[in-house]
Amino acid sequence: MTRRECVSNPNGVEANRFNGLITAFIGSGVMAEAMIGGLLSKEIMRPAQIIAADPLQDRCEVLKARFGIQATTHNREAVRAADILILSVKPQVLDRVLVDIGELGSLPKLVISIIAGATIAQISEGLGNPNVVRSMPNTPARIGQGITVWTATESVPEARREQARAILASFGQEVFVEDEHYLDMATALSGTGPAYVFLFMEALIDAGVHLGFPRRIAEQLVIQTMRGSVEYAAQSHEHPAALRNQVTSPGGTSAEAIYHLEKGGLRTVLSRAVWAAYQRSVALGAGKKVAHEPR
C-alpha cells in the first residue's frame, strides 16, 4: 500500500491540503461512491490516496475497477492506514462499527461522518477523538450537484476544517453551520429532499400518462419542466411565490390547478412529512425508535 504520495493538480490549492494523506471510507455505498468520484474528478486526491472498506468483496472489486482505489473488507485495515476517516455506514450499524474501529480512529485523525442522525458526541466518544465533523449530503452528489450541510466542534483545528470543506465541496455545494442541531433539520430538508422531488415527479408523470401521453413523452416533459423551473428560480433570485404568480393567470389553467393542490393540503402534507423526517433523524441520534403513523 502506497502510504505517502504527493498530488499534482493544475489548480493545486485544494490538492495541496492532502499531500501525503490517505483517506479511508468506512462504508462504500452510493454516497461514498459519489464522494470518491468527486475527489478524483476534481483531482483533489489520487486513487492511491483513497481506500474503501465494505463487507462485500464483490463491492470492493467494483470500486477498485471503477476508480483504481484500494479496497478491503476489513474496517480496521482501512482505518489503520488512514489520516482521514469518512464514516458512511447505515445508522443502524454505527455502534458496531465504532466498537470495531476502536482506538484506531483516535487522534490525530480527522473523522467526517455523513451518517443520518449520528451526533458528534456519539462518534467522538466511540473513537476517543474530538476531531469530528458531522455532515449531511444528498444524492445529487452522484452527478456533482449535491449540497452538504456540515458542522464541527471548536476542538477541530482550522486546517482540519478546511480539509473537510474541500472534501465536501468536491461533489457540490457545502454550507457550514455553527450549531449541530441544524444537521437534523438539514437531514429532513435537503438530505431527504430528493425523495420528495422524485415522488412529485413520479406523480406528475403518472398524471401525464393518465391524460393520454406516452410515458416516454410524459417523462421528458416533466423532467425538463422541473429542470428549467429550478434553473430559472436559481438565476432569477425571486421568491418562488413571485415566480408562481407569473405563470398563474386569473381564471386560467394554472390557477385552477393550484386551487386543487391547496385544497388537497399539499403544503400541510409536505410540512408534516419534513417534520416527521426531522423527528426520525433526532431519534436515530438518540438511539430511540419512533412509532410509525398507522398506514
Neighbouring-strand partners of residue 111:
85, 132
The amino acid occupying position 42 is K
- Tell me the C-alpha distance between 182 and 179, whole Å: 6
- Tell me the C-alpha distance between 212 and 286, whole Å: 49
Q: Which of 104, 69, 82 shows the shortest CA–CA distance to 22?
A: 82
Q: Which of 159, 92, 163, 151 shows the shortest CA–CA distance to 124?
A: 151
| 31 marked among binding-site residues | yes
Can you give the C-alpha Rg of the chain in angstroms? 22
- Tell me the C-alpha distance between 130 and 134, whole Å: 12
| 106 marked among binding-site residues | no
10 Å Cβ neighbour count for 232? 12
Give the SS3 label for residue 61. Answer: helix
| 205 marked among binding-site residues | no
| 101 marked among binding-site residues | no
Give the SS3 label for residue 218. Answer: helix
Grid cell for residue 95: 455502534
| 265 marked among binding-site residues | no
| 29 marked among binding-site residues | yes
127 in Cβ contact with 98 (< 8 Å): yes
| 112 marked among binding-site residues | no
**Residue numbers belonging to the annotated binding site for NADPH:** 75
**Residue numbers belonging to the annotated binding site for NADP(+):** 26-31
**Residue numbers belonging to the annotated binding site:** 26-31, 75
